[in-house]
């Protein structure tokens, strides 16, 4: 019957570990904002390149079958 107790203690230990690692934010507000802006800038560049590629394909004849 000790198996049930071990299961309970392991569950509690895993829950405690998950909660501890869940929401730690070590960045300050300005660092967090800068990180988000950097990521947004990168995504804008990627989107711009994709749009330019689509426009070039459309201008070159577009659809391939």
- Write out the residue range of the structural domain in which residue 52 sits: 33-57
Question: What confidence score (pLDDT) does residue 65 get?
Answer: 52
- As given in the structure block, the two tokens for residue 7 are 């299961």
pTM of the model: 0.49
Domain total of the chain? 1
Taking a C-beta distance cutoff of 8 angstroms, is the pair 35, 27 a contact? yes
Sign of CA dihedral 42, 44, 50, 52: negative
47 domain-assigned = yes
Whether 2 shows a pLDDT value over 90: the answer reads: no
46 domain-assigned = yes
pLDDT tens digit string along 12-55? 999 888 887 776 777 888 988 999 999 999 999 999 999 999 99
Question: What confidence score (pLDDT) does residue 63 get?
Answer: 59
Question: What confidence score (pLDDT) does residue 50 get?
Answer: 95
17 domain-assigned = no
């Amino acid at each position: 019957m000790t198996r049930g107790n071990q299961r309970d203690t392991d569950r509690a230990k895993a829950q405690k570990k998950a909660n501890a690692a869940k929401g730690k934010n070590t960045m300050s507000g300005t660092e967090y904002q800068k990180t988000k802006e950097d990521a947004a800038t990168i995504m804008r560049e990627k989107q711009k390149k994709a749009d330019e590629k689509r426009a070039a394909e459309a201008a070159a004849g577009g659809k391939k079958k």
